């Protein structure tokens, strides 16, 4: 213990002596550097004295982490410190890769249920399926562990092994499987389809390393189908962004060389940069539509904004998130990293689409929405008006579709998932997705399943009525309002019991999508979901009318698009 105290004093003394020397140099050069050294000197002294004199034993690293998190948090939500144990999370964000087994789980009461399995992962190759329950890991019971702790046990260095004890319901099978961990790569393009009327659809869910190549491969594959492609939809809904360079490369697939895609401007002018296309486009003429929503952000907005400004694609959906800030990552000592907001980005027309201004009033960070009155107007390549600030506005707005309250409740309570598990084991696999449908008898079977599970739908209105009843009883008014309240509760219960039939079509579609994912993993669910996707269907309709498509892009005066 004495050695540790001596070592700590030696380190602090050396640091302070070094800082003192640096502070003298700083005074001779720039007052701002002196402020930095002065602040570091004070910080080191506070950390030293807290460690030496606080009533309880402290962790210097924990104290440092708290102060650094407060420091970065006072700037904006994107400037972040990553300690060594979280650097792998940062890597996953940029590469989409991690070491593990390819299993996603959820905890329900005392059960740990597999919710998804990547088919080419160790778990998928071993035959594990959604609905299987994990009971042991490496011979240890996991009843008391959180879902995060269990996920950590399943992850690990590629080449290491983990033994998983599994129970398969409905077949009543218990077995163990030894999984050799591997590098798991989540595909940025998980699926691509050719929909009706030879319209292609590519889902791009994140801009990780190599995603532009995945888009190219999907495009080439769709175009090679008999009949080829007449038009293309790229779905960026829910895409949180990622690597800026990959957004530029993806734009280059549809735009010839020499076109500006995005410009970066920050405080360090030497780092300002303009990214232009450098390669010949794979297809610079196919009619193109980009789907966005409120969760499309960052690199997704760079791609959508560039193709909109260049009049290369129609943007369809809802206004995007509005993240016009760029982060750079820097290495720190002891394998830690710091991600810093270093610039704003600007689309080809010159607009920054940042929706929130982060300013400081004293020590307080304020986040203010950019008001519509201050949003400047810009023009696209063909003279269309677009606005900066507030995200990317779609050329063709489509309202966000929201599930009914009963459908959300069925999903939250896993009734759709659990019924799909049972259905999968009770019915043989159809020959193809085109042959799969659900009958009235299947829906009646689902209703019976809900009764078996003692499921009862309690609406938000019922919960509000419960709160009202509590308030009335506390106020002593219950006897005066009992009859009216009971009558209202009975009427509300009748409405709730009718919801399953009132939303029968919507519930059947959710059941079809979930069951299809069991028969055709990784793409079955989405194939059936697209059939009733309002934004997708409206986009196909627009692409089916070339004159409307050309008119919206101001292309009527140009050569006719086939």
Active-site residue list: 298, 309, 323
Contacts (Cβ under 8 Å, ≥6 apart) of 185: 95, 96, 97
Tokens of 287: 């009619």
- Residue 61 phi, psi dihedral angles, 5° rounding: -65, -40
Q: How far apart are CA 135 and CA 509, in angstroms?
A: 32
Which residues, in sequence order, are CB contacts of 256 under 8 Å at separation 6+? Answer: 277, 280, 281, 284
- For 75, half-sphere exposure in the C-beta direction (CA atoms, 13 angstrom radius) is 14
Is residue 199 within 8 A of residue 217, CB to CB? The reply is no
- Contact of 554 with 384, CB cutoff 8 Å: yes
Whether 143 and 128 have beta carbons less than 8 Å apart is answered as no
Q: Contact, 92 vs 98, CB < 8 A?
A: yes
Please list, in sequence order, all residues whose beta carbon lies within 8 angstroms of the beta carbon of residue 496, skipping any fewer than 6 positions away: 456, 457, 458, 459, 462
Give the tokens for residue 496: 């709730």
DSSP 198: G
CB neighbours of residue 441 within 10 Å: 8
The C-alpha atoms of residue 222 and residue 362 are separated, in whole angstroms, by 56
Residues 6+ apart with CB under 8 A from 263: 272, 273, 274, 275, 345, 346
**CA–centroid distance for 127 within its chain:** 27
Centre a 10 Å sphere on the Cβ of residue 547 and count the other Cβ atoms it contains: 10
Residues 6+ apart with CB under 8 A from 166: 128, 132, 133, 134, 135, 174, 175, 176, 177
């Amino acid at each position: 213990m004495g050695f540790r105290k001596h070592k700590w004093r030696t380190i602090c003394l050396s640091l302070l002596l070094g800082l003192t020397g640096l502070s003298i140099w700083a005074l001779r050069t720039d007052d701002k550097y002196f402020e930095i050294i002065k602040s570091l000197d004070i910080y080191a002294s506070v950390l030293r004295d807290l460690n030496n004199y606080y009533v309880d034993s402290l962790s210097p690293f924990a104290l440092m982490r708290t102060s650094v998190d407060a420091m970065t948090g006072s700037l904006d939500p994107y400037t972040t410190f990553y300690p060594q144990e979280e650097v792998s999370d940062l890597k996953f964000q940029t590469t989409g890769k991690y070491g593990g087994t390819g299993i996603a789980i959820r905890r329900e009461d005392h059960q740990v249920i597999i919710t998804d399995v990547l088919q080419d992962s160790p778990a998928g190759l071993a035959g594990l399926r959604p609905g299987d329950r994990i009971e042991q890991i490496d011979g240890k019971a996991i009843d008391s562990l959180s879902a995060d702790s269990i996920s950590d046990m399943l992850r690990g260095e590629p080449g290491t092994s983990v033994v998983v004890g599994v129970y398969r319901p409905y077949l009543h099978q218990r077995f163990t499987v030894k999984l050799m961990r591997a590098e798991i790569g989540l595909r940025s393009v998980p699926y691509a389809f050719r929909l009706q009327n030879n319209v292609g659809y590519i889902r791009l869910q994140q801009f990780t390393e190599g995603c532009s190549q995945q888009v190219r491969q999907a495009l080439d594959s769709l175009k090679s189908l008999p009949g080829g492609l007449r038009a293309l939809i790229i779905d960026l809904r829910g895409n949180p962004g990622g690597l800026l360079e990959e957004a530029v490369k993806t734009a280059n697939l549809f735009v010839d060389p020499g076109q500006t895609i995005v410009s970066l401007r920050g405080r360090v002018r030497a780092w300002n940069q303009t990214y232009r296309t450098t390669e010949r486009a794979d297809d610079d003429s196919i009619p193109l539509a980009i789907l966005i929503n409120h969760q499309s952000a960052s690199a997704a907005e760079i791609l959508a904004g560039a193709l909109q400004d260049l009049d290369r694609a129609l943007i369809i959906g809802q206004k995007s998130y509005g993240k016009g800030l760029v982060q750079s990552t820097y290495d720190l000592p002891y394998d830690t990293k710091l991600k810093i907001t270093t610039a704003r980005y600007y689309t080809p027309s010159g607009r920054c689409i940042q929706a929130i201004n982060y300013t400081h009033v004293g020590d307080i960070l304020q986040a203010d929405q950019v008001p519509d009155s201050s949003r400047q107007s810009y023009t696209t390549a063909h003279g269309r008006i677009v606005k900066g600030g507030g995200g990317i506005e779609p050329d063709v707005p489509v309202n966000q579709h929201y599930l009914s309250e009963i459908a959300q409740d069925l999903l939250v309570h896993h009734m759709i998932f659990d019924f799909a598990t049972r259905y999968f084991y009770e019915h043989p696999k159809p020959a193809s997705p085109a042959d799969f449908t659900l009958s009235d008898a299947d829906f009646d079977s689902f209703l019976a399943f809900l009764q078996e599970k003692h499921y009862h739908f309690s609406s938000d209105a019922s919960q509000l009525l419960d709160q009202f009843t509590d308030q009335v009883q506390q106020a002593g008014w219950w006897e005066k309002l009992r009859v009216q309240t009971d009558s209202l509760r009975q009427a509300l219960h009748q409405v709730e019991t009718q919801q399953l039939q009132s939303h029968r079509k919507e519930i059947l579609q959710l059941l079809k999508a979930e069951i299809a994912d069991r028969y055709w993993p990784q793409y079955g669910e989405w194939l059936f979901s697209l059939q009733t996707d309002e934004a997708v269907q409206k986009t196909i309709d627009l692409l089916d009318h070339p004159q409307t498509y050309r008119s919206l892009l101001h292309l009527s005066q140009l050569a006719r698009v086939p």
